[in-house]
Structure 1
Amino acid sequence: MAKTDQKVINFRIVIDQPVVGVPYSLQARDESPLDAKSSRAGEPLLFDFQVRTGPGPTLLGDQVRREGPVRRFVYIRIGQLAGDPASPWARRMKIDIHDIGTDLLDDAATSGGVIETTVIGTAKDGTPSCATVRPTGRRIAGP
């Protein structure tokens, strides 16, 4: 796909209710952690990145992973995988982005807004959420 057919859209993952003191980070293309952050008092953690979109829509970018012909997602690394070798956890969250509607993608591209996806960072047992984590909200936030 030619770069002229692509639009750059700003994305933000919000980890609401993260486990206090545990590092979370985006996963880079080479699978290393990026921009590890920890919550001091349960405040949300924010991770910003860009995605290129094209017809289809096709979603591309350094943080975008693929599974099969359609599924696209972003990994959030947790604990040891986020760079803390002393953490008791070595987990990843998988957050789907292939299910974002074209209306929302187009609105974000046109307005310059950020597609903000919120997920819960703590599982029911009090440990960090992991595996596929369903968004609790998705909206366009201001630029």
Structure 2
Amino acid sequence: MARADQTEIRMRIVIEQPVAGVVHSLQAGNDGVLDPKASADGEALSFDFPIRVAPGPKFFGDQVRREGPERRFVYIRIGQLAGDPASPWSRRMKIDIHDIPQDMLDRAARGDGAVIQTVVHGTGADGTPACATLRPLRRRLEMPARG
């Protein structure tokens, strides 16, 4: 349950050009697999999840991991770590969230359905699934469609 000083924000990680057939998933808690999916032909994979943000900013949530006093990130599990025991890969992508600009956090916190979308490249230079810390190709605030 969120504390009074925490605001829920919707997040989306998009993995462009993942290695086809390789299972990816969000990491839930320290060990859990959440929402496993694989790309059939290299089409993008998308993972949606909420986080909570408090002044500072400070980040909280089932997918939020921490390293040191300030670094906060989300893991995307790959291959065996994502629940595919037959995969030759057992990796994780680390995607920083502590560097999201404050104005973007503020706009996403307004409660109008906005989603902070972070896009990363899913294939490493060697043709295998990208892993370790990935820098976003782009990050934007995606507003809901008005009908």
| Range class of TM-score, shorter chain | over 0.9
In the other structure, the counterpart of 1:23 is 23
Q: Which moved more, 1:26-35 or 1:113-122?
A: 26-35
- Secondary structure of 1:126's match? coil
In the other structure, the counterpart of 2:50 is 50
Structure 2 unaligned spans of 5+: none
Superposition RMSD on alpha carbons, in Å? 1.0
- Secondary structure of 2:10's match? strand
Structure 1 stretches of 4+ moved >6 Å: none
CA deviations on 1:88-135 (whole Å, 9 max, x unpaired) are 000000000000011000011113300000000000110000010110
- Secondary structure of 1:103's match? helix
Query: In structure 1, how many angstroms separate the alpha carbons of the residues matched to 2:30 and 2:15?
Result: 22
Query: In structure 1, how many angstroms separate the alpha carbons of the residues matched to 2:53 and 2:29?
Result: 17
- Secondary structure of 2:107's match? helix
In the other structure, the counterpart of 1:137 is 138
1:3: Cα distance to partner?
1.1
Alignment TM-score, normalising by the size of structure 1:
0.96
In the other structure, the counterpart of 1:59 is 59
CA deviations on 1:25-81 (whole Å, 9 max, x unpaired) are 000104121110000111100000001001100010000000011000000000000
Structure 1 unaligned spans of 5+: none
Query: In structure 1, how many angstroms separate the alpha carbons of the residues matched to 2:124 and 2:30?
Result: 27
Aligned residues: 142
Identify the structure with the greater helix proportion: 1
1:88 aligns with 2:93: no
